[in-house]
Structure formats: structure tokens, C-alpha cells
């Protein structure tokens, strides 16, 4: 039996003789997002008291502070090689966003807290080798980022001062390809010789060969 699907691809290959099953679970960029969020939630700096979310639609309430959000902001697809040759293949880069909000009772101390949060994120993520090598996803490279410190207020009356770290990180996720669906795959080749002379056919050794073609061998490498 062949191995379970290569995680880069959108399809699942379970066995060499079974047709492809469309992969309808999480996309590759979303799996990376879940991986980033789960790691940040376990960082010692955040774990004791922070409220976490991975969805930008979540409304931040005063009781949610201190708060940390990890978001999938934008996905960029560029052709890998000639766009009009072969199956669709995309070099994929994704922009992820990190938001850390603390209460701003003292602007100096609040900004120091944001800087400590930034250090926790960058050191914790960039030194984590599992982001490059795990069974679910592989980040090929970190391409850059943008950091901001924003000061403002929340609550209905805008009466609670806050300080927010906004950090955007661009990640190269490598090439994601979409091979064509071929329902009538070539599975077996049967070759048999037939000696043309009728009077000698019984004394002539015939050759009968059957080739069992594993359609998924290449896609599982």
C-alpha cells in the first residue's frame, strides 16, 4: 500500500489502484495558521493570562485583555515555471498577522510590554525548527515582516486605554500543485504473443506478461 497523501497537494492518494479523493479539509495556508497559533498559545510569555483567537471577526472585549490574535491575512499565488505549460503549480506566499493588546495604564511600561511580546513571538517562532519540518506543513522561508505599536482605547465609551503590537509576517510555503483528475487511469498492461504458424503453435513457447502500473508512485514522493 502506498503512503498517505503528500501534504503539499490538494488530493489524497490512499492506494495505487484507487482514484484520487479531493482533499476537502484545511488548505495548506490554513494548516500553517493553526500551527502558528498553537505554538504561540504555549509560549510562556502568553500562556498564563492572555486570551487567544485566530479569527479576525472576534470582537475584543475589555475582559479579553491581555489579548493575542494570530490571523491569516492574505495569500499570494505566483506561477511556478510557465503558467501555460503543465498542471497548475503555484509558488505560494502567505501574510500572517499577530496582534497583542495590553492595557495602557503607563505608556512607557505598555510599550515595553509590547516589545517583550514581540521578542517572545520572534524568538519563539524563528528558533522553532518544527515549523520547517513536521508531518503537517513546512514553512520554506520567512520573507519579511512589518511591526507597529498602536495606542488607543476600547469599550463602548472608549474609556480603557490600550497599547497594541501589530506584526505581519510573510511566509514562503513553497509550491502547491493541482494535478489533473484522470478517472480512466492506465492500471494494467497485458502482453501476449501469438505464434502465426498454426502447425507449430503447440511446440512454440508463448510469452505472457502483465504489467501492474502503480499510478500514484510519483505523486507520493
Of 71-80, 172-181, 189-198, highest mean pLDDT: 71-80
pLDDT at 167 over 90: yes
Query: 192 or 151: whose pLDDT is higher?
Result: 151
**How far is residue 92's CA from residue 173's CA, in Å, rounded to a whole number?**
5
Mean pLDDT of 87-103: 93
Query: What's the CATH number where 155 sits?
Result: 3.30.2000.10
pLDDT at 10 over 60: no
Residue-level pLDDT at 24: 52
Residue at 191 is within a domain:
no
Contacts for 47 with CB less than 8 Å, ≥ 6 apart:
41
Residue at 131 is within a domain:
yes
Residue at 45 is within a domain:
yes
Residue at 1 is within a domain:
no
Residue at 86 is within a domain:
yes
Mean pLDDT of 73-77: 94
Residue at 70 is within a domain:
yes
> What is the pTM for the complete model shown?
0.72
Q: Which residues pair with 93 in a beta bridge?
A: 76, 172
Evaluate whether 38 touches 52 at the Cβ level (below 8 Å).
Answer: no
**162 cis-preceded (ω within 30 degrees of 0):** no
Domain count, the chain: 1
pLDDT digits (tens, 9 = 90+) for 133-155: 888 888 999 999 999 999 998 87
Domain that includes residue 93, residue range:
21-177
Query: 9 or 201: whose pLDDT is higher?
Result: 201
Residue at 14 is within a domain:
no
Q: Band of the pLDDT at 15, cuts 50, 70, 90?
A: very low
Question: For cell 495590553, what's the residue?
Answer: 102
pLDDT at 187 over 50: yes
Residue-level pLDDT at 201: 67
pLDDT at 81 over 70: yes
Residue at 4 is within a domain:
no
First to last CA, the chain: 14
Evaluate whether 103 touches 92 at the Cβ level (below 8 Å).
Answer: no
Mean pLDDT of 19-23: 49
Q: What is the mean pLDDT of the chain?
A: 82
Residue-level pLDDT at 8: 39
Amino acid at each position: 500500500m502506498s503512503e498517505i497523501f503528500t501534504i503539499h497537494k490538494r488530493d489524497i492518494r490512499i492506494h495505487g489502484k484507487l482514484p484520487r479523493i479531493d482533499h476537502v479539509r484545511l488548505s495548506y495556508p490554513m494548516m500553517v495558521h493553526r500551527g502558528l497559533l498553537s505554538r504561540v498559545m504555549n509560549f510562556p510569555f502568553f500562556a498564563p493570562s492572555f486570551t487567544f483567537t485566530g479569527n479576525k471577526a472576534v470582537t475584543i472585549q475589555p475582559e479579553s485583555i491581555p489579548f493575542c490574535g494570530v490571523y491569516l491575512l492574505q495569500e499570494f499565488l505566483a506561477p511556478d515555471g510557465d503558467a501555460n505549460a503543465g498542471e497548475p503549480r503555484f509558488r505560494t506566499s502567505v501574510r500572517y498577522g499577530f496582534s497583542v493588546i495590553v492595557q495602557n495604564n503607563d505608556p512607557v511600561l505598555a510599550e515595553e510590554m509590547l516589545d517583550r511580546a514581540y521578542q517572545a513571538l520572534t524568538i519563539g517562532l524563528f528558533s522553532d525548527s518544527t515549523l520547517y519540518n513536521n508531518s503537517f506543513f513546512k514553512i520554506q522561508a520567512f520573507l519579511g515582516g512589518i511591526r507597529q505599536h498602536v495606542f488607543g482605547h476600547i469599550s463602548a465609551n472608549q474609556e480603557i486605554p490600550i497599547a497594541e503590537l501589530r506584526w505581519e509576517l510573510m511566509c514562503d510555503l513553497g509550491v502547491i500543485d493541482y494535478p489533473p483528475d484522470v478517472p480512466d487511469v492506465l492500471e494494467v498492461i497485458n502482453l501476449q504473443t501469438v505464434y502465426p504458424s498454426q502447425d507449430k503453435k503447440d511446440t512454440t513457447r508463448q510469452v505472457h506478461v502483465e504489467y501492474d502500473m502503480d499510478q500514484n508512485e510519483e505523486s507520493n514522493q
